[in-house]
Structure 1
Amino acid sequence: MRYVQSCAALALIAATTFGGAAFAQKGTGEATGMAQRAEKPAIISMSGTVKDTKIGPCKLTTGRSAEGAHLIVQSQDKVVNLHLGPSEAVGDVLKAAPVGQQITFEAFRTDRMPPDAYVAKSVKTADQTFTLRGDNLSPSWARGRGGGRGQGMGRGFGGCF
């Protein structure tokens, strides 16, 4: 019985410490995520039409999620690869923004990203707005330490085990 309690306590400590970071995405080759940086990249607003949806292993991140979701958006002057986040966390956005849907989005990019790649902060369709990252650019699905994942909210350990 004591062994089970010790294992449960250890799992709870691990989930509290690492659970929020499990789905945080750190960016291309970065050791820390955008939320931990003092200097944030510029946020730009763009609009366009969704031309394609890509779901699969994300080549542009070092986050721990198995697969990422991207919208390929045709703006007025270029095609943008808009990284949304882990596919399991952005399913509502994918449903609301099918191919052919006109969207407006706020996004940022870093110098390490390809010129056409951006990370979505928010996505707006005709009737819905999805906030994917807060003002400090922390992903809404990460929630930080003790913010729900691994805290008995029916969501398991946030994928860290």
Structure 2
Amino acid sequence: QTCNEFGYFQTATSVFGRPTMYTRGASSRSLWHQVCEDVFGIGAPQVAERISATNAYYGGKRPRGIERVFFTNGDLDAWSLLAVTEYPGNDREVYAEVAPLGSHCVGLYAPRDGEVPGATAIREKALALFRRWASPPPPPSASEAEARIVV
């Protein structure tokens, strides 16, 4: 996925241009471009083209043509830079939540002591949505049923 669709090369470079506690033995963007070239035959220009194609196909951070989707993220998750973290109001039941201090897959595990506060809220919202989506639709009201009768 990294070379072929997303191009998200995780590195340990600092935004301040100085080494961090993770820098030793870490990778750089040029290393990952070389891996894509050597292992998959996908050069850096092709990676950029494929990222654009992936975003065009799926809609990037504003996916189109979806319904009943709940995007969850933690604000400390490195992958959240690529994720849908907000979604405009819509009638297709698409939601996005970000848990403060949460990491990858926050709220998707069984409850446990010491988890970040947002995990509980995300888990409860997810379960409520999934139960509603998995339930059969309610029967039509009398007025809706009458409106469907064509004379």
The TM-score bracket by the shorter chain reads under 0.3
Is the helix fraction higher in 1 or 2? 2
Is the strand fraction higher in 1 or 2? 1
More contact order relative to length (CA 8 Å, sep ≥ 6): 1
Superposition TM-score, scaled by structure 2 size: 0.24
